[in-house]
Amino acid sequence: MCRAGGVPEPADTGDDASTDASFTALLEDSADDLYESAPCGYLSTLMDGTVAKINATLLQWLGLRREDVVGRMRFADLLTVGGKLYHETHFAPLLRMQGELRGIALEMRKQSGGRLPVLVSSLVKYGTEGEPLLIRTTVFDASDRRAYEEELLRRRRDAEQARADADRARAEAEEARRQAEADRARLADALAVLQQSLVPSSLPPVPGLETAVHYHTASADRLGGDFYDLFPIDGKRWAFFLGDVCGKGPEAASLTSLTRYTLRAAALHDPEPATALATLNTVLHDRYAAGGDPRYCTAIFGVVEPGTGDEPTTVRIASGGHPPALVLRADGRADYLPTPGGLLIGILPNAPVGTARTVLAPGDTLLLYTDGLTEARTGPGRTDLYGEEALRAFAAGHAPATPQETVTALTGLIQGFGDGLEDDTALLALGVPASRPPVHPNPKRPR
């Protein structure tokens, strides 16, 4: 015989009958077995809560004997103290009002003293007249669910704690950053004030000359070691100097202060440039090198005597290991004023110095600078030094120029170096005006 569509039905081998019989035998569980061995707990109580019936599953969970429970205990007696309180104040009143409650979380007491988290559903059974007869309750073991919930709660607390710790760490880092910025600002202010005490706040006016100065500090967090000054010697001559001490920070500041005031005192005693540098060399060598802590500097010291009437302006300088001065001439040339043979000041007991002399005509400018300018890093990889030849070419491209024009042009050059300028740079320029008015150093007062 075939099914619709021409597909033959499977042959009846007779094995199906034995299979159905075995399956039926498996399903022939008695109602009592199903009740007693159910995967959940069952119990029935009277309306006052007295346990009338309880299955073996729930008894096994609680570790109790049937004869100790049925007719002797109430449902509330099976609960923990907290569960009993909740049962009396919420569960039982709601059950009487609604006749049914489902999935209520409670805790039951084990005979061993432990606790069993459960989910309870209860239903009131009514008689034919509508009167309540008993309460049927189903109990599900919620241990795994409770453990899962507790694990979720623990992880949430851990996450919240980690988030709080991260927020606190961020807040502490932000506070530390603000504090560091405030400390850095206070340090920069203090260093700026101290730096200003190491160089004159402004240059005094010099009759018959124009002057300009610029000081670039490579780092706001460290005291620079460059120094300069310009001051009168007598009624017609002025002393000036510019230099660079070794090192940075407080030690360099101490050395700068000593160097500056030594040169000032030496100039007032004997304004000869070579003598002033020799005095400085003796002071530094005796103070540091003789005690095993050599410190040194490079310096140019000069004396300028502004011309009066047809007299030219003369300049005499001495150098101890310092880059040569640069003269921008009124005819557009720019040449160095060599001072060969000069050594670092403070290293040897008697360090030689190089000397030179020049005349400044109207429109000429004499430029002193520290090696932060010529040793600035240039090129794509910041591997090349700017150098003295590039500086001479730059100056020639701007000559003739007044001292202020020269310093302004060089300031723009310094700013263009950016990160390539790693050292402090000081500039000091002296020049004769192109149109020089008559100068009278000691004018007579009218009577």
Number of domains in the chain: 3
Residue 442: predicted pLDDT: 44
3-class state of residue 441 by DSSP: coil
Backbone angles phi, psi at 338, to 5 degrees: -65, 140
Residues 186 and 203 placed together within one structural domain of the fold: no
| C-alpha span between 191 and 197 (Å, rounded) | 10
pLDDT tens, residue by residue, 259-306: 999 999 999 999 999 999 999 999 999 999 888 888 999 999 999 999
What is the CB neighbour count within 10 angstroms for residue 73? 16
Examine the domain organization and report whether 230 and 97 are in the same domain. no
Neighbours of 269 (CB within 10 A): 11
Flag whether 204 is in a domain: yes
**246 shares its domain with 166:** no
In-domain check, residue 15 = no
Residues 306 and 383 placed together within one structural domain of the fold: yes
Beta bridge partners of 300: 242, 319
- Do 190 and 205 lie in one domain? The reply is no
Bond preceding residue 443 cis, omega within 30 of 0: no
- By C-alpha distance, which of 324, 322, 326 is closest to 338? 324
Give 229-266 pLDDT, tens digit per residue: 999 999 899 999 999 998 877 788 888 989 999 999 99
For 334, the token pair is 């720019």
- For position 24, what pLDDT does the model report? 64
Burial environment of residue 189 by CB neighbours within 10 A (0 to 12, 13 to 18, 19 or more): exposed
Tell me whether residue 446 is in a domain. Answer: no
Of 294, 217, 226, 214, nearest in space to 257 by CA: 226
Query: Which strand (E) or helix (H) includes residue 273?
Result: helix 273-287
**What's the rounded Cα separation, in Å, for the pair 118 and 144?**
10
Cβ atoms of 310 and 361 closer than 8 Å: no
pLDDT-flagged residues of the chain (< 50): 1-7, 437-447
Q: What is the pLDDT of residue 440?
A: 43
| Residue at which a domain ends, from 165, 182, 198 | 198
The answer to whether residues 203 and 63 belong to one domain is: no
pLDDT for 188 equals 63
Classify residue 117: in a domain, yes or no. yes
Task: Judge whether 399 and 332 are in contact, CB under 8 Å.
Answer: yes
How many CA atoms within 13 Å lie on the side-chain side of 273? 26
Structure confidence at residue 12 (pLDDT): 55
Which pLDDT value is given to residue 438? 45
Q: Are 32 and 43 in contact (CB under 8 A)?
A: no
Separation of alpha carbons 212 and 400, rounded Å:
15
- Residue 246 has what pLDDT? 87
Output the six-digit token pair for 93: 């009143």
44: number of Cβ within 10 Å: 18
438 occurs within a structural domain: no
The domain spanning residue 131 has which CATH number?
Answer: 3.30.450.20
193 and 208 share one domain: no
Q: Please write the tens of the pLDDT for every residue from 149-167.
A: 888 889 999 999 999 998 9
Residues 162, 307, single domain; the answer is no
Q: In which domain, by residue range, is 61 found?
A: 21-141
